[in-house]
Amino acid sequence: MSTTTERPAAAATAVPAARPAKFRPRGESSPLSKALSHGVLILASLIALFPVGWILFVSLGPDKTDYLHPGQIFGKLTLSNYQHVLADTDFFTWFGNALLVSGVTTVFGVLLAATTGYAVSRMKFPGHKPLMWSLLVTQMFPIAVLIVPMYTMLSELGLLDSYTGLILVYSTTTVPYCAWLLKGYFDTIPVEIDEAGRVDGLSPFGTFWRLVLPLARPGLAVAAFYSFLTYWAEVPFASTFMLSSDKYTLAVGLQSFVSEHDAQWNLMAATAVLIAIPSAAFFYLVQRHLVTGLTAGASKS
């Protein structure tokens, strides 16, 4: 016991002596700066964690005003909100709708975008620059530019309140975005592979299909996950275009707790947690690759 209390004191006195730090290996910092770093990181982690933890906590309180006096929740922790949401609401319908819409959008987007990403990454052709520009500009579209014409178009085509309509609308952003993302991934695959394929007599498309695409599987997975997660929880388009409650996606269904049952915050909290779990799980599976794909594509344009 006494030795352990002595240690920190010794270390503390050693700090000033070690201050010139000529002999400290690179990348190692002084204990003081280490402690400071840990302090800042712990604080930041708490701030990042708190709202997520908070909604989890509130979802365990049975009463809709429990979030105002959280202390009382400890006395009556219950899973009844989850039970209610799963058993008595349209949760599974919404879940299925969200899965269907975001799933089809993802497949559609990645399939269409893959060849374009490859072409933009490997080939120089007249129109290359305008294409890259239009891919970038579509990321800038504020929702207000397209939502009105899309609304009138869909209503003329009778596609309002239909899965097809929503999928088409989502494709406007997901297709150029996936093309952009995949271009970044294809850039990281060495050109020598293509050249080897060409030497062995494959056509450019054959090279793409047989050699590059299999190698790009992680990139494809990232593009797929990214667009899936985006549309899994998309609000404005879904809440504008999906009008009947059996067509609601999760994000829209969640809103309905406010109007229909005069703000059932506890049920909303439970639903929110149920929605967050699968998407957060997916996210952690692929997060390592997410950013490299994104920024690689952008910085090399």
Site for other proteins in 167-226 (CB under 8 A): 168-169, 171-172, 175-176, 179, 203-205, 208
85 scored as a contact of other proteins (CB under 8 A): no
Q: CA separation (Å) from 98 to 95, 103, 172, 264? A: 5, 8, 18, 22
119 scored as a contact of other proteins (CB under 8 A): yes
- Measured from the CB atom, the residue of 37 and 83 that comes closer to other proteins is 37
Q: Which stretch in 2-10, 83-91, 145-153, 219-227 sits in contact with other proteins by CB under 8 A?
A: 145-153
| Structure tokens, 78 | 């219950």
The H or E element containing residue 259 is: helix 250-260
Q: Annotate each residue in 279-298 with x if it binds other proteins (CB under 8 A) or - if it does not, as one string.
A: xx--xx--x--xxx-xx--x
- Measured from the CB atom, the residue of 126 and 201 that comes closer to other proteins is 126
- Measured from the CB atom, the residue of 83 and 134 that comes closer to other proteins is 134
Q: How many Å apart are CA 248 and CA 251, to the nearest integer?
A: 8
- Measured from the CB atom, the residue of 162 and 279 that comes closer to other proteins is 279
Largest CA distance in the chain: 83
In the complex, the smallest distance separating the C-beta of residue 204 from other proteins, rounded to whole angstroms, is 4
Q: CA separation (Å) from 280 to 43, 45, 275, 277, 284? A: 22, 16, 9, 5, 6
Positions in 10-49 near other proteins (CB under 8 A): 26-29, 34, 37-38, 40-42, 44-45, 47-49
DSSP assigned state of 77: -
Provide the 10 A C-beta neighbour count for residue 22: 6
In the complex, the smallest distance separating the C-beta of residue 24 from other proteins, rounded to whole angstroms, is 10
Q: Where are the alpha helices (DSSP H) in 59-162?
A: 80-88, 91-122, 128-138, 143-157
Asked if residue 271 lies in contact with residue 85, where contact means CB atoms within 8 angstroms, the answer is: yes
In the complex, the smallest distance separating the C-beta of residue 91 from other proteins, rounded to whole angstroms, is 14
- Measured from the CB atom, the residue of 41 and 79 that comes closer to other proteins is 41
Positions in 221-280 near other proteins (CB under 8 A): 229, 232-233, 235-236, 240, 251, 254, 258, 265, 268-269, 272-273, 275-276, 279-280
| Structure tokens, 132 | 């890259």
